[in-house]
C-alpha cells in the first residue's frame, strides 16, 4: 500500500472536514455533544501548516494535526476516513507524527482524547503513550497522554 503524506493546502479543506464529520459524528451520542475536532477551524490550521494528509491514489484517506509547543509536539487530532479504517493508515500517520516530533527536536509527543473514547485510550496505551492527566476543557472531559521519543 503506497500512502503519501504531505502538508495540506486550501483545496484539501473540504475533504478534511468531511473526514472529521464521518469519523466523529458517531461519538456525539456517547459524549453528549460534538467532539473537539468537530469545532476546530481547519482553514486556520491549514494556513498555519499544522495539517498533514495521508493520501492514496490522490484520495485523502486521513490526516493529522501537529502543533509545536514549548516542551513537546502536540498531536492535536488524527482522523481516518471510515472507508479507510483498518488499512493501517492511522498507524502510518502516528509513526509520521512521532518522526516529525523527533525531527523538530522534541523528546516527547503528547495527545489527548475524550475519556469516553476508551478504544482510543487502549490503542495509544498499547503504542507506548502514558496517561498524564484528565481535565475538563471546552466542556469536554479529556485524557492527556504522552510518549517519550
Give DSSP secondary structure letters for 57-123.
TTEEEEEEEEEE-SSSEEEEEEEE-GGGTTSSHHHHHHHHHHHHHHHTT-SEEEEEEETT-HHHHHH
* Domains parsed from the chain with CATH numbers: 4-148 (3.40.630.30)
Measured from the Cβ of residue 49, the count of other Cβ atoms closer than 10 Å reads 11
pLDDT tens series, the chain, 149 aa: 699 999 999 999 999 999 999 999 999 999 999 999 999 999 999 999 999 999 999 999 999 999 999 999 999 999 999 999 989 999 999 999 999 999 999 999 999 999 999 999 999 999 999 999 999 998 889 999 999 99
Which cell numbers in the block locate residue 142? 479529556
Three-state secondary structure call for residue 9: coil
Amino acid at each position: 500500500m503506497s500512502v503519501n503524506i504531505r502538508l495540506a493546502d486550501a483545496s484539501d479543506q473540504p475533504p478534511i472536514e468531511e473526514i472529521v464529520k464521518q469519523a466523529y459524528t458517531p461519538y456525539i451520542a456517547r459524549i453528549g455533544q460534538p467532539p473537539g475536532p468537530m469545532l476546530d477551524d481547519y482553514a486556520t490550521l491549514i494556513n498555519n501548516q499544522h495539517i498533514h494528509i495521508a493520501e492514496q491514489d490522490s484520495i485523502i484517506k486521513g490526516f493529522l494535526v501537529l502543533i509545536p509547543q514549548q516542551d513537546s509536539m502536540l498531536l492535536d487530532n488524527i482522523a481516518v476516513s471510515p472507508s479507510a479504517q483498518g488499512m493501517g493508515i492511522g498507524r502510518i500517520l502516528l509513526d509520521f507524527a512521532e518522526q516529525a516530533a523527533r525531527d523538530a527536536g522534541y523528546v516527547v509527543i503528547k495527545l489527548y482524547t475524550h475519556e469516553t473514547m476508551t478504544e482510543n485510550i487502549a490503542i495509544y496505551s498499547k503504542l507506548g503513550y502514558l496517561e498524564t492527566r484528565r481535565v475538563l476543557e471546552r466542556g469536554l472531559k479529556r485524557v492527556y497522554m504522552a510518549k517519550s521519543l
